[in-house]
Chains A and B, each alone.
Chain A
Amino acid sequence: MSDMWTYLQYPFAQHALLAATLVALVSGLIAPFVAARDMAFAVHGSAELAFPTAVAGLLLFDDALTGALLGSVLVAIAIALLGSRRGDGNTAIGVILAFGLGIGVFLLSFYHGYASQATNILFGSIVAVTSRDLVVLAIVAAVVSLLVLAIYRPLFFSSVDPEVAEARGVPTRALGLLFVLMLTVTVTEVAQVVGTLLVLSLAITPAAAARRWTAAPLLVTGLSVLFALLSADGGFLLSLAFVDSGVKASVFITFISFGLYLLARAAAVVRKV
């Protein structure tokens, strides 16, 4: 256990902790909307599609994050065009997802750098976060947070009550598009920490747990951020504490996140709601 404090003296661990915090903040903010709009599959889809774009980034710029962030814009447009609400585009997302992963594996065969780069994309590589990555993460986190603050109410309106929102003059389509964009960028960020395969543990589980505790929207968002922070930071600290086991931080993150969800469900049963 004392290892944890020793490791935290090192810049790589501090970077990782900061990255985990930033990533948890945005995904916790976004997650309640993902749940309300029933877009879990779009999250999963855009996370996995960050794989081929990250590999393309490795090939073109020797940098996975740049490729993934640029690619996320393309993915957002594709998802938005296919229809992003209420599962109407789920089949199409599935089709594109399968093809996208094929492209990723195809591109990977041209990449002759470190093979660990590719597995890092899939399963996360929080300790590999550079200070340049941190700057990008901080900028994305700031932009997404400010946007959520600015569009919170209309976005919530169009998420829970689209017909009336439309009639009340809320630009539901434009907001839907903007949200998908925020979502794919956030997901790409989260994928840096937990990997593309485990994104949902930060981008939906915290909100799913929060909604079991309360139905007050602001409280749901607050709890969702709190749970995401507990999972991401807690998971990383645990991975330091058990560094000898060689288990990745992303594993601890998914475990804590799911544990909080189980706790919320159990509490809901006890509270009889």
Chain B
Amino acid sequence: MSQASAVQLDHAALRRGERLLWSDLDLKIAPGEFVAILGPNGAGKSTLLKVLLGLLSLTDGTALVAGKAPRRGSSDVGYVPQQKGFDTDLGARGRDLVALGVDGHRFGPFRERGRAARVDQAIAAVGASAYAGRPIGRLSGGEQQRLRIAQALVGDPAVLLCDEPLLSLDLNHQRGVVELLDRRRRDAGTAVLMVTHEINPVLPFVDRVVYLVDGRVAVGKPDDVLTSTSLSALYGTRIDVLRVRDRIVVLGAEMEPHHVHDHFGGEHDHSGESGETGESGETGETGEASGDE
């Protein structure tokens, strides 16, 4: 059964310099499972992805990805890095970004056979065909994110690692991206690990959450981990988890503005989060939203 795991961590620990980021992390993720990695900034969420990418080694314990030790450049892993906009005049189209996922790592002048067909297919699968031919730097955040996911999936990986894929997307696009990932893991059995601050958009879809705080780890179903008792134990201080309709609100945790915004975000107005409005504005995205559904 253990060979069947998409990701497996045994007693994994990671130290960066003097700081122990986390230790005794046991985690077994099945193919097709959707797991959210949560926790405050600096808890080592992205670092966990870097370990699975083979960019960092564990200080202790073992890690397996698709039954093998993590290796940089492994075709078993797809990676969607933290959202950073592209230069407006980058000199690359959306489909060029996706094509790099096929043979961008290969030297020599010849492109991989059948590349165009695979690229087209991956672009169609994320619903980006309408704008994939446009310069990548001129697409909206949501459009860029879909193309990044197409790039990560074009190699048909067993595991998809996403680092804050919902950052700076409006609610519409957050839902679109999460539904896309959910469909993929159901259709293709790709295990999805997503580092995110935004609990609520992913809550209806994820099977389990990994919650990292100050070297401590809680793993389990969202309903078991995201409770006042469990989070209070994890943070070592009083935390209140409230359920408001189908949303979760976490109170008391020392969290960055983004976190507060995410938990409260949703249908309510922007009072008390004036600093956030610029980021969630996403004025340029309405065009895609209408053409999408």
Contact = CB atoms under 8 A, between A and B. Distances in A.
A217 B91 contact: yes
Range class of the B interface residue count = 35 or more
Nearest to B161: A167
Nearest to B106: A153
A32 B81 contact: no
Contact of B104 (A32, A154, A220): A154
A215 B90 contact: yes
A36 B106 contact: no
A165 B107 CA distance: 13
B72 interface: yes
Interface string A43-59: 00000000000000000
B109 A164 contact: no
A36 B100 CA distance: 15
B135 to A, nearest CB: 4
A102 to B, nearest CB: 34
Contacts of B100: 153, 156-157, 160-161, 164-165
B82 to A, nearest CB: 8
Contact of A170 (B79, B104, B135): B104
- B interface majority secondary structure: loop
Interface residues of A, number: 32
Interface in B117-172: 134-138, 148, 151-152
B193 to A, nearest CB: 14
Contacts of A153: 100, 103-108, 111
A160 B97 contact: yes
Contacts of A208: 89
B73 interface: yes
Nearest to B71: A169
- A interface majority secondary structure: helix
A32 B90 CA distance: 9
Given A164-B100, A215-B136, A210 B105 contact: no
A171 to B, nearest CB: 9
A269 interface: no
A36 B90 contact: yes
A208 B77 CA distance: 35
B53 interface: yes
Given A215-B90, A217-B92, A166 B109 contact: no
Interface stretch (A11-19, A21-29, A106-114, A144-152): A144-152
B236 to A, nearest CB: 33
B216 interface: no
21 contacts: A36-B87, A149-B109, A153-B103, A153-B104, A156-B100, A157-B104, A160-B90, A161-B104, A164-B79, A164-B151, A167-B53, A167-B55, A168-B105, A169-B72, A169-B74, A170-B73, A211-B91, A215-B90, A215-B93, A216-B93, A217-B92
Given A165-B100, A273-B135, 9 more contacts: A154-B105, A154-B106, A157-B100, A164-B151, A165-B105, A167-B77, A170-B105, A215-B96, A220-B91
Interface of A: 32, 35-36, 38, 149-154, 156-157, 160-161, 163-170, 207-208, 210-212, 215-217, 220, 273
